[in-house]
Structure 1
């Protein structure tokens, strides 16, 4: 597995999947409200994309862990 820079932040003890999802939802709500300047929309969108990448990496890592546990159970 190749780790990206964003994946390392998901290893941090202060990183939280649910908190990132809430942040993404907040960003989306802010963009949809239409009250941001265009440049801020792009900045917020870029931030949301980075958070989504972090979440995807987190979920992939956890899926690999689950697959390994299932394989271990199957071997027994």
Structure 2
């Protein structure tokens, strides 16, 4: 198997998956709600969830822009 050299940012983008991030957010919520985490871990987990939510929001915004552009293109024809 040949390994490609990629920078970590483009690799992270190509491996990013909306459904996987939503599942991670749900898992974090479950861990927090379980009450079994120490306070510091709750804050860390919460910070991760917020970052994942931002990523999901950006993803959805980009896809909405693409859909709007496609609709505009269809309207122009």
TM-score range for the pair, normalised by the shorter chain length: 0.7 to 0.9
Is 2:36 aligned against 1:47? no
Gaps of 5+ in 1: 1-7
> What is the alpha-carbon distance in structure 2 between the residues aligned to residue 49 and residue 38 of structure 1?
17
Q: Count residues with an aligned counterpart.
A: 68
TM-score scaled by length of structure 2: 0.84
TM-score scaled by length of structure 1: 0.85
Gaps of 5+ in 2: 1-8
Q: Which structure has the greater CA radius of gyration?
A: 2
C-alpha RMSD over aligned residues: 1.5
